[in-house]
Homo-oligomer: A and B are copies of this chain.
Protein backbone atom coordinates (compact mmCIF):
# COMPACT_ATOMS: atom_id res chain seq x y z
CA UNK A 1 0.00 0.00 0.00
CA UNK A 2 1.51 3.28 -1.04
CA UNK A 3 0.62 6.40 0.86
CA UNK A 4 1.43 9.91 -0.17
CA UNK A 5 0.49 13.39 0.86
CA UNK A 6 -1.84 15.17 -1.45
CA UNK A 7 -1.15 18.72 -2.66
CA UNK A 8 -3.94 20.15 -0.58
CA UNK A 9 -2.08 19.50 2.61
CA UNK A 10 -0.88 23.01 3.27
CA UNK A 11 -4.28 24.34 2.36
CA UNK A 12 -5.72 22.52 5.32
CA UNK A 13 -3.10 23.53 7.77
CA UNK A 14 -0.06 21.80 9.09
CA UNK A 15 -1.93 19.33 11.10
CA UNK A 16 -4.60 18.12 8.76
CA UNK A 17 -3.47 15.95 5.92
CA UNK A 18 -4.92 14.38 2.87
CA UNK A 19 -3.73 10.88 2.20
CA UNK A 20 -4.35 9.26 -1.12
CA UNK A 21 -4.33 5.52 -0.75
CA UNK A 22 -3.00 3.79 -3.84
CA UNK A 23 -3.56 0.13 -4.60
CA UNK A 24 -0.05 -1.08 -4.06
CA UNK A 25 0.14 -2.72 -0.67
CA UNK A 26 3.75 -3.84 -0.66
CA UNK A 27 5.57 -0.81 0.65
CA UNK A 28 3.67 -0.15 3.81
CA UNK A 29 6.29 -1.37 6.20
CA UNK A 30 8.94 0.74 4.47
CA UNK A 31 6.69 3.73 4.76
CA UNK A 32 6.28 3.01 8.43
CA UNK A 33 10.02 3.03 8.92
CA UNK A 34 10.50 6.16 6.87
CA UNK A 35 8.78 8.15 9.56
CA UNK A 36 5.31 8.25 8.18
CA UNK A 37 3.97 7.35 11.56
CA UNK A 38 1.45 4.75 12.41
CA UNK A 39 -1.54 7.00 12.73
CA UNK A 40 -1.57 7.62 9.01
CA UNK A 41 -1.43 3.94 8.29
CA UNK A 42 -4.26 3.36 10.56
CA UNK A 43 -6.33 5.94 8.75
CA UNK A 44 -5.32 4.52 5.40
CA UNK A 45 -6.40 1.09 6.50
CA UNK A 46 -9.73 2.41 7.62
CA UNK A 47 -10.16 4.24 4.32
CA UNK A 48 -9.46 1.03 2.51
CA UNK A 49 -12.10 -0.76 4.52
CA UNK A 50 -14.54 1.94 3.52
CA UNK A 51 -13.51 1.48 -0.09
CA UNK A 52 -12.16 5.01 -0.33
CA UNK A 53 -8.85 6.05 -1.77
CA UNK A 54 -8.70 9.59 -0.53
CA UNK A 55 -8.88 10.44 3.11
CA UNK A 56 -8.50 13.60 5.14
CA UNK A 57 -7.05 12.89 8.53
CA UNK A 58 -5.97 14.99 11.40
CA UNK A 59 -2.80 14.59 13.38
CA UNK A 60 -4.33 12.01 15.67
CA UNK A 61 -5.18 9.86 12.69
CA UNK A 62 -8.88 10.46 12.98
CA UNK A 63 -10.64 10.47 9.66
CA UNK A 64 -12.28 13.78 9.01
CA UNK A 65 -13.66 12.79 5.65
CA UNK A 66 -12.95 10.31 2.91
CA UNK A 67 -14.06 9.50 -0.62
CA UNK A 68 -13.09 8.31 -4.03
CA UNK A 69 -10.68 10.50 -5.94
CA UNK A 70 -11.98 9.48 -9.35
CA UNK A 71 -15.55 10.43 -8.58
CA UNK A 72 -14.87 13.58 -6.64
CA UNK A 73 -11.93 15.81 -6.02
CA UNK A 74 -11.04 16.67 -2.50
CA UNK A 75 -12.77 20.02 -2.69
CA UNK A 76 -15.91 18.24 -3.75
CA UNK A 77 -15.58 15.85 -0.87
CA UNK A 78 -15.31 18.75 1.50
CA UNK A 79 -18.31 20.44 -0.01
CA UNK A 80 -20.39 17.33 -0.22
CA UNK A 81 -19.78 16.90 3.44
CA UNK A 82 -20.64 20.53 4.00
CA UNK A 83 -23.71 20.13 1.84
CA UNK A 84 -22.70 22.88 -0.49
CA UNK A 85 -21.65 23.03 -4.10
CA UNK A 86 -18.43 24.84 -4.84
CA UNK A 87 -16.84 26.02 -8.01
CA UNK A 88 -14.02 28.36 -8.79
CA UNK A 89 -16.16 31.46 -9.08
CA UNK A 90 -17.86 30.93 -5.76
CA UNK A 91 -14.42 30.20 -4.44
CA UNK A 92 -13.28 33.63 -5.45
CA UNK A 93 -16.38 35.31 -4.08
CA UNK A 94 -15.84 33.53 -0.84
CA UNK A 95 -12.18 34.47 -0.73
CA UNK A 96 -13.01 38.06 -1.38
CA UNK A 97 -15.66 38.06 1.31
CA UNK A 98 -13.18 36.63 3.76
CA UNK A 99 -10.62 39.19 2.74
CA UNK A 100 -13.00 42.09 3.19
CA UNK A 101 -14.05 40.87 6.59
CA UNK A 102 -10.46 40.54 7.74
CA UNK A 103 -9.46 43.87 6.28
CA UNK A 104 -12.33 45.59 8.02
CA UNK A 105 -11.62 43.99 11.39
CA UNK A 106 -7.93 44.77 11.06
CA UNK A 107 -8.53 48.42 10.33
CA UNK A 108 -11.15 48.79 13.03
CA UNK A 109 -8.89 47.32 15.66
CA UNK A 110 -5.90 49.30 14.47
CA UNK A 111 -7.96 52.44 14.85
CA UNK A 112 -9.05 51.35 18.33
CA UNK A 113 -5.40 50.82 19.23
CA UNK A 114 -4.45 54.20 17.81
CA UNK A 115 -7.17 56.06 19.66
CA UNK A 116 -6.90 54.12 22.91
CA UNK A 117 -4.34 56.53 24.35
CA UNK A 118 -6.88 59.35 24.01
CA UNK A 119 -8.42 57.74 27.12
CA UNK A 120 -11.91 58.10 25.74
CA UNK A 121 -12.36 54.32 25.67
CA UNK A 122 -12.10 53.77 29.39
CA UNK A 123 -12.38 50.02 29.62
CA UNK A 124 -10.03 47.10 28.97
CA UNK A 125 -9.75 46.10 25.29
CA UNK A 126 -8.51 42.72 24.07
CA UNK A 127 -7.58 43.04 20.40
CA UNK A 128 -7.62 40.23 17.85
CA UNK A 129 -5.11 41.67 15.39
CA UNK A 130 -3.38 38.71 13.77
CA UNK A 131 -6.29 36.37 14.53
CA UNK A 132 -8.78 37.74 11.99
CA UNK A 133 -8.98 34.60 9.88
CA UNK A 134 -10.79 32.70 12.58
CA UNK A 135 -13.77 34.99 13.01
CA UNK A 136 -13.93 35.56 9.26
CA UNK A 137 -13.96 31.88 8.36
CA UNK A 138 -16.23 30.75 11.17
CA UNK A 139 -18.82 33.48 10.76
CA UNK A 140 -19.01 33.14 6.98
CA UNK A 141 -20.11 29.57 7.54
CA UNK A 142 -22.98 30.78 9.72
CA UNK A 143 -26.40 32.20 9.00
CA UNK A 144 -27.73 35.26 10.74
CA UNK A 145 -29.98 33.22 13.03
CA UNK A 146 -27.10 31.08 14.15
CA UNK A 147 -25.83 32.27 17.50
CA UNK A 148 -22.33 32.90 18.72
CA UNK A 149 -21.14 33.32 22.29
CA UNK A 150 -17.83 35.09 22.64
CA UNK A 151 -15.23 35.84 25.27
CA UNK A 152 -13.22 38.76 26.61
CA UNK A 153 -11.60 38.91 23.14
CA UNK A 154 -14.87 39.53 21.38
CA UNK A 155 -14.49 42.35 18.86
CA UNK A 156 -13.67 40.31 15.79
CA UNK A 157 -16.31 37.68 16.51
CA UNK A 158 -18.94 40.33 17.02
CA UNK A 159 -18.05 42.20 13.84
CA UNK A 160 -17.66 39.16 11.59
CA UNK A 161 -21.04 37.89 12.71
CA UNK A 162 -22.59 41.20 11.72
CA UNK A 163 -22.63 43.05 15.02
CA UNK A 164 -23.27 46.78 14.81
CA UNK A 165 -20.00 48.73 14.71
CA UNK A 166 -21.44 51.93 16.12
CA UNK A 167 -23.02 50.16 19.08
CA UNK A 168 -19.73 48.42 19.77
CA UNK A 169 -17.59 51.53 19.71
CA UNK A 170 -20.15 53.46 21.71
CA UNK A 171 -20.02 50.73 24.32
CA UNK A 172 -16.23 51.00 24.48
CA UNK A 173 -16.74 54.70 25.11
CA UNK A 174 -19.18 53.93 27.91
CA UNK A 175 -22.00 55.64 26.11
CA UNK A 176 -25.76 55.28 26.45
CA UNK A 177 -25.87 54.31 22.77
CA UNK A 178 -23.53 51.38 23.36
CA UNK A 179 -24.93 47.92 22.86
CA UNK A 180 -25.07 47.51 26.65
CA UNK A 181 -25.94 51.13 27.31
CA UNK A 182 -22.56 51.37 28.99
CA UNK A 183 -23.27 48.61 31.49
CA UNK A 184 -20.90 46.05 30.09
CA UNK A 185 -17.86 47.49 28.37
CA UNK A 186 -15.81 45.72 25.74
CA UNK A 187 -16.09 42.25 27.25
CA UNK A 188 -19.88 42.13 27.06
CA UNK A 189 -20.70 43.14 23.50
CA UNK A 190 -23.74 41.47 21.99
CA UNK A 191 -26.18 42.05 19.14
CA UNK A 192 -29.43 40.14 19.12
CA UNK A 193 -30.43 40.66 15.46
CA UNK A 194 -26.96 39.65 14.31
CA UNK A 195 -26.95 36.48 16.40
CA UNK A 196 -24.23 37.63 18.78
CA UNK A 197 -25.95 36.22 21.81
CA UNK A 198 -23.43 37.29 24.45
CA UNK A 199 -19.80 37.90 25.18
CA UNK A 200 -18.57 37.00 28.64
CA UNK A 201 -15.41 38.06 30.44
CA UNK A 202 -15.01 35.00 32.66
CA UNK A 203 -12.85 32.40 30.96
CA UNK A 204 -14.90 29.40 29.88
CA UNK A 205 -18.16 30.87 31.10
CA UNK A 206 -19.72 31.21 27.67
CA UNK A 207 -19.05 27.64 26.59
CA UNK A 208 -22.06 26.06 28.29
CA UNK A 209 -24.17 29.10 27.44
CA UNK A 210 -23.64 28.38 23.75
CA UNK A 211 -24.46 24.73 24.34
CA UNK A 212 -27.63 25.86 26.07
CA UNK A 213 -28.58 28.00 23.10
CA UNK A 214 -28.08 24.88 20.97
CA UNK A 215 -30.29 22.92 23.35
CA UNK A 216 -33.04 25.48 22.81
CA UNK A 217 -32.61 25.17 19.03
CA UNK A 218 -32.81 21.42 19.26
CA UNK A 219 -35.85 21.48 21.52
CA UNK A 220 -37.60 23.75 19.04
CA UNK A 221 -36.32 21.72 16.07
CA UNK A 222 -34.84 24.84 14.51
CA UNK A 223 -32.16 24.35 11.84
CA UNK A 224 -29.73 26.71 13.57
CA UNK A 225 -26.41 26.20 15.21
CA UNK A 226 -24.62 27.84 18.12
CA UNK A 227 -20.92 28.55 18.25
CA UNK A 228 -18.88 28.89 21.42
CA UNK A 229 -15.68 30.82 20.85
CA UNK A 230 -12.99 29.96 23.34
CA UNK A 231 -9.28 30.39 23.84
CA UNK A 232 -6.62 27.81 24.46
CA UNK A 233 -6.90 28.49 28.20
CA UNK A 234 -10.64 27.93 28.34
CA UNK A 235 -10.26 24.20 27.78
CA UNK A 236 -8.45 24.09 31.12
CA UNK A 237 -11.65 25.08 32.87
CA UNK A 238 -13.68 22.03 33.81
CA UNK A 239 -16.80 23.66 32.46
CA UNK A 240 -15.53 23.04 28.93
CA UNK A 241 -15.63 19.32 29.56
CA UNK A 242 -18.98 19.46 31.28
CA UNK A 243 -20.50 21.25 28.31
CA UNK A 244 -18.76 19.02 25.77
CA UNK A 245 -20.01 15.83 27.41
CA UNK A 246 -23.59 17.05 27.47
CA UNK A 247 -23.42 18.37 23.91
CA UNK A 248 -22.26 15.02 22.58
CA UNK A 249 -24.72 13.09 24.71
CA UNK A 250 -27.65 15.11 23.36
CA UNK A 251 -26.27 15.70 19.85
CA UNK A 252 -26.58 19.43 20.28
CA UNK A 253 -25.99 21.67 17.27
CA UNK A 254 -23.09 23.49 18.85
CA UNK A 255 -19.57 24.05 17.58
CA UNK A 256 -16.74 24.64 20.00
CA UNK A 257 -14.25 26.89 18.27
CA UNK A 258 -10.96 27.00 20.09
CA UNK A 259 -8.68 29.80 18.97
CA UNK A 260 -5.26 28.60 19.98
CA UNK A 261 -3.02 31.64 20.13
CA UNK A 262 -0.56 29.79 22.37
CA UNK A 263 -0.94 32.07 25.37
CA UNK A 264 -3.17 32.80 28.29
CA UNK A 265 -2.22 36.38 29.07
CA UNK A 266 1.58 35.94 29.38
CA UNK A 267 1.59 32.23 30.16
CA UNK A 268 2.46 29.88 27.31
CA UNK A 269 0.43 26.80 26.59
CA UNK A 270 3.25 24.47 27.53
CA UNK A 271 3.31 25.86 31.06
CA UNK A 272 -0.38 25.06 31.43
CA UNK A 273 -0.94 21.80 29.58
CA UNK A 274 1.07 18.78 28.52
CA UNK A 275 2.42 19.12 25.01
CA UNK A 276 -0.40 17.36 23.18
CA UNK A 277 -2.71 18.49 20.42
CA UNK A 278 -5.63 20.45 21.86
CA UNK A 279 -8.12 18.58 19.71
CA UNK A 280 -7.70 15.51 21.91
CA UNK A 281 -9.86 17.33 24.43
CA UNK A 282 -12.82 17.36 22.10
CA UNK A 283 -12.21 13.93 20.71
CA UNK A 284 -12.21 12.28 24.13
CA UNK A 285 -15.85 13.25 24.48
CA UNK A 286 -16.62 11.53 21.22
CA UNK A 287 -17.01 14.48 18.92
CA UNK A 288 -15.23 15.11 15.61
CA UNK A 289 -12.25 17.23 16.47
CA UNK A 290 -9.86 18.80 14.08
CA UNK A 291 -7.02 21.27 14.02
CA UNK A 292 -6.62 23.66 11.12
CA UNK A 293 -4.49 26.65 10.23
CA UNK A 294 -6.21 29.51 11.99
CA UNK A 295 -4.38 32.00 9.81
CA UNK A 296 -5.94 30.54 6.67
CA UNK A 297 -9.46 31.86 6.46
CA UNK A 298 -10.43 29.39 3.76
CA UNK A 299 -9.28 26.46 5.83
CA UNK A 300 -11.25 27.84 8.75
CA UNK A 301 -14.30 28.24 6.56
CA UNK A 302 -14.07 24.75 5.07
CA UNK A 303 -13.67 23.07 8.40
CA UNK A 304 -16.42 25.13 9.98
CA UNK A 305 -18.78 24.35 7.11
CA UNK A 306 -18.26 20.68 7.76
CA UNK A 307 -19.06 21.17 11.39
CA UNK A 308 -22.09 23.32 10.60
CA UNK A 309 -23.41 20.72 8.19
CA UNK A 310 -23.01 18.05 10.82
CA UNK A 311 -24.78 20.17 13.38
CA UNK A 312 -27.66 21.09 11.08
CA UNK A 313 -28.05 17.46 10.11
CA UNK A 314 -28.59 16.58 13.74
CA UNK A 315 -25.27 14.82 14.05
CA UNK A 316 -24.12 16.86 17.00
CA UNK A 317 -21.22 19.01 18.06
CA UNK A 318 -17.68 19.41 16.76
CA UNK A 319 -14.51 20.75 18.27
CA UNK A 320 -12.43 22.94 16.00
CA UNK A 321 -8.98 24.10 16.94
CA UNK A 322 -7.54 26.98 14.96
CA UNK A 323 -3.87 27.70 15.48
CA UNK A 324 -3.18 31.40 15.36
CA UNK A 325 -1.33 34.19 17.11
CA UNK A 326 -2.16 37.44 18.81
CA UNK A 327 0.09 40.26 17.69
CA UNK A 328 -0.53 42.82 20.40
CA UNK A 329 -0.46 42.57 24.15
CA UNK A 330 -3.12 40.51 25.91
CA UNK A 331 -5.08 43.57 26.94
CA UNK A 332 -4.41 46.99 25.50
CA UNK A 333 -3.13 48.61 22.33
CA UNK A 334 0.60 47.93 22.38
CA UNK A 335 3.14 45.48 21.07
CA UNK A 336 4.74 43.80 24.07
CA UNK A 337 7.39 41.48 22.69
CA UNK A 338 9.92 43.35 24.75
CA UNK A 339 8.64 42.26 28.14
CA UNK A 340 10.02 38.77 27.88
CA UNK A 341 7.25 36.22 27.71
CA UNK A 342 7.64 35.53 24.00
CA UNK A 343 10.51 35.93 21.61
CA UNK A 344 10.63 38.48 18.82
CA UNK A 345 11.53 35.58 16.52
CA UNK A 346 8.34 33.74 17.38
CA UNK A 347 6.35 36.88 16.82
CA UNK A 348 8.03 37.58 13.46
CA UNK A 349 7.42 34.02 12.30
CA UNK A 350 3.75 34.41 13.00
CA UNK A 351 3.60 37.86 11.48
CA UNK A 352 5.04 36.23 8.36
CA UNK A 353 1.87 34.16 8.28
CA UNK A 354 -0.39 37.20 8.50
CA UNK A 355 -3.82 35.92 7.49
CA UNK A 356 -4.66 39.19 5.79
CA UNK A 357 -1.55 39.45 3.60
CA UNK A 358 -1.79 35.79 2.67
CA UNK A 359 -5.31 36.23 1.45
CA UNK A 360 -4.42 39.46 -0.31
CA UNK A 361 -1.60 37.72 -2.13
CA UNK A 362 -3.87 34.86 -3.11
CA UNK A 363 -6.43 37.25 -4.53
CA UNK A 364 -3.83 39.35 -6.31
CA UNK A 365 -2.35 36.22 -7.84
CA UNK A 366 -5.78 35.24 -9.05
CA UNK A 367 -6.38 38.65 -10.51
CA UNK A 368 -9.24 39.43 -8.19
CA UNK A 369 -7.55 42.29 -6.39
CA UNK A 370 -5.12 44.99 -7.35
CA UNK A 371 -3.76 48.07 -5.62
CA UNK A 372 -6.62 50.23 -6.81
CA UNK A 373 -9.32 47.87 -5.62
CA UNK A 374 -7.65 47.49 -2.27
CA UNK A 375 -7.40 51.25 -1.85
CA UNK A 376 -11.09 51.59 -2.63
CA UNK A 377 -12.01 48.94 -0.10
CA UNK A 378 -9.85 50.60 2.51
CA UNK A 379 -11.38 53.98 1.85
CA UNK A 380 -14.86 52.57 2.31
CA UNK A 381 -13.93 50.90 5.55
CA UNK A 382 -12.14 53.96 6.89
CA UNK A 383 -15.08 56.19 6.30
CA UNK A 384 -17.34 53.70 8.07
CA UNK A 385 -14.92 53.69 10.96
CA UNK A 386 -14.77 57.47 11.11
CA UNK A 387 -18.51 57.75 11.19
CA UNK A 388 -18.77 55.13 13.91
CA UNK A 389 -16.16 56.79 16.12
CA UNK A 390 -17.83 60.14 15.63
CA UNK A 391 -21.11 58.56 16.69
CA UNK A 392 -19.48 57.04 19.75
CA UNK A 393 -17.72 60.21 20.77
CA UNK A 394 -20.78 62.39 20.31
CA UNK A 395 -23.19 60.09 22.10
CA UNK A 396 -24.00 61.09 25.68
CA UNK A 397 -22.86 59.15 28.70
CA UNK A 398 -25.66 57.29 30.44
CA UNK A 399 -27.01 59.12 33.44
CA UNK A 400 -27.19 57.47 36.83
CA UNK A 401 -30.86 56.83 36.47
CA UNK A 402 -32.81 53.71 35.76
CA UNK A 403 -30.95 50.43 35.92
CA UNK A 404 -32.53 47.23 34.69
CA UNK A 405 -31.85 44.77 37.45
CA UNK A 406 -35.11 42.90 37.09
CA UNK A 407 -37.19 42.16 34.02
The count of residues in chain A whose C-beta lies closer than 8 Å to any C-beta of chain B is: 29
Interface string of A229-268 (1 = CB under 8 A from B): 0000000111111100100110000000000000000000
Contact of A45 among B32, B238, B245, B276 (CB under 8 A): B32
Q: Collect the chain B residues with CB atoms within 8 Å of residue A42's CB.
A: 38, 41-42
Residue A15 at the B interface, CB < 8 A?
A: no
Q: Collect the chain B residues with CB atoms within 8 Å of residue A274's CB.
A: 245, 248-249, 285-286
Interface string of A267-288 (1 = CB under 8 A from B): 0000011101000110111100
Contact of A245 among B32, B273, B285, B286 (CB under 8 A): B273
Residue A46 at the B interface, CB < 8 A?
A: yes
Within 8 A of B (CB), among A8-34: 25, 29, 32
Docked-complex contact A284 and B281, CB < 8 angstroms: yes
Q: Collect the chain B residues with CB atoms within 8 Å of residue A45's CB.
A: 32, 38, 41
Docked-complex contact B286 and A276, CB < 8 angstroms: yes
Most buried by B among A42, A240, A245, A274: A274
Q: Collect the chain B residues with CB atoms within 8 Å of residue A281's CB.
A: 284
Nearest Cβ in chain B — how far from A290, in angstroms? 15
Docked-complex contact A237 and B242, CB < 8 angstroms: yes
Nearest Cβ in chain B — how far from A270, in angstroms? 9
CA of A284 to CA of B242 in the docked complex: distance in angstroms? 15
Docked-complex contact A242 and B236, CB < 8 angstroms: yes
Q: Collect the chain B residues with CB atoms within 8 Å of residue A29's CB.
A: 25
Nearest Cβ in chain B — how far from A294, in angstroms? 21
CA of A285 to CA of B281 in the docked complex: distance in angstroms? 8
CA of A285 to CA of B41 in the docked complex: distance in angstroms? 24
Q: Collect the chain B residues with CB atoms within 8 Å of residue A38's CB.
A: 42, 45-46
Residue of B nearest to A238 (CB): B238
Q: Collect the chain B residues with CB atoms within 8 Å of residue A285's CB.
A: 274, 276
Nearest Cβ in chain B — how far from A235, in angstroms? 9
CA of A38 to CA of B272 in the docked complex: distance in angstroms? 33
Residue of B nearest to A248 (CB): B274
Docked-complex contact A283 and B286, CB < 8 angstroms: no
Selected A-B contacts with CB under 8 Å, 22 pairs = A25-B29, A32-B45, A32-B49, A38-B45, A236-B242, A236-B245, A238-B238, A238-B239, A238-B240, A238-B241, A240-B241, A241-B241, A245-B273, A245-B274, A248-B274, A249-B272, A249-B273, A249-B274, A276-B286, A280-B284, A281-B284, A283-B284
Interface residues of A (CB under 8 A from B): 25, 29, 32, 38, 41-42, 45-46, 49, 236-242, 245, 248-249, 272-274, 276, 280-281, 283-286
Q: A41-B42, A245-B272, A248-B274 are in contact. List 16 more A-B contacts (CB 8 A).
A: A25-B29, A32-B45, A38-B45, A38-B46, A41-B45, A42-B42, A236-B245, A237-B238, A237-B242, A238-B239, A238-B240, A238-B242, A240-B241, A245-B273, A249-B273, A276-B285
